[in-house]
Structure 1
C-alpha cells in the first residue's frame, strides 16, 4: 500500500495530529480535503456564525494553498449546516467573498444536528494543477 500524501497547512499540524486525521490527501491528480470548520488556532470555534464561516474558508484556503491550489481548483463541495433553516441566509451572504465566479463547483448541502460545537463545515475535492513533471 502506498503511503498517504498528506498536506498540512502551516501552523496547524499539531491540531490535526491531536484529533487524528489528515487535513488533506493528494491522490491521482486530486486533493481530498477533510471538513473544515471555523476553528481558531487552538481549535475552539469562532462564536459568531459569519465569522465562523469566514474562518472555515480561511482554514480551507490555507490547505488549498499548501497543496498549490486555490478555490478555483475546487470541483466538488459538501457543506454541513446546523439548523439550516435559521442559518442558511447568514452563511450564503458570506459565500460570494470566497466562492469566485461561474462556473461554480458542484454543491451538496446537508443539514445536521451537531458539529462538535460548530455551526458550519465545508469539505471539498480539488483538481491539482498540472506540473511540468506530471504533464510528461
Structure 2
C-alpha cells in the first residue's frame, strides 16, 4: 500500500545518473530542517562505475566519486558550495607498499578534492574528517567520500 509522502519528513532516492546502490540504502536524502532550509545527506560516493569497473588509482577513484557527488547534489537542487561537512574514507593497506607508507592525507585524493572544490565551489573548504579504514564495500575500492549539505531557500 503506497503512502503519501510528508514534505516535513526525510525523502531518500537515487538519481538516475549515479550508480544504483544495493537495496540497503539510497544515494541522496533531503531532510527539511526549517521551513526554508533542507539538510542534504549523501551516501558515500566511490570510484565504482555503473559497469562495475574500478580504476586501481586512488586519484582516479576520487575524481569519479566527486563526479557522483556533483550529480547527487545537482539532483537535490544543490551545488558543492552548499557542502557543510565531508568525510573521506581511505583504505590503509592498498597493497601498494610505496603508497601505503604515505600518510592518508598524502595519497593523491587531496589534490583532486581541492581541484574539484576550486572549480565547483569557488574554493570553499568545509570541515572534513579523514578516516583510515581496513576496507570498503568492494575489494578494489581505495577511497569513499561522504558529504552533508544545507540548502536554504
TM over 0.5: yes
**1:79 pairs with one of 61, 79, 88:** 88
Residue range with higher mean Cα deviation, 57-66 or 42-51? 42-51
Q: CA deviation at 1:95?
A: 1.5
Quote the residue 1:96 is aligned against.
Answer: 114
Q: In the TM superposition, what are the counterparts of 1:1-136 in structure 2 within 5 Å? A: 4-12=10-18, 15-16=20-21, 18-28=22-32, 29-83=38-92, 86=102, 88-89=105-106, 90-100=108-118, 101-115=122-136, 116-117=138-139, 118-130=141-153
TM-score by length of 2: 0.73
Q: Distance in 2 between matches of 1:62 and 1:98?
A: 13
Q: What do the CA deviations read for 1:45-67 (whole angstroms, capped 9, x no partner)?
A: 22222111100100111100100
TM-score by length of 1: 0.81
Please list every run of 5 or more consecutive structure 1 residues that lacks an aligned counterpart in the other structure.
131-136
Give the helix-richer structure, 1 or 2.
1
Q: What do the CA deviations read for 1:25-81 (whole angstroms, capped 9, x no partner)?
A: 110211011111111112432222211110010011110010011110000101111
Q: CA deviation at 1:104?
A: 1.6
Across the two proteins, how many residue pairs are aligned to each other? 128
Larger Rg: 2
Q: CA deviation at 1:113?
A: 1.1
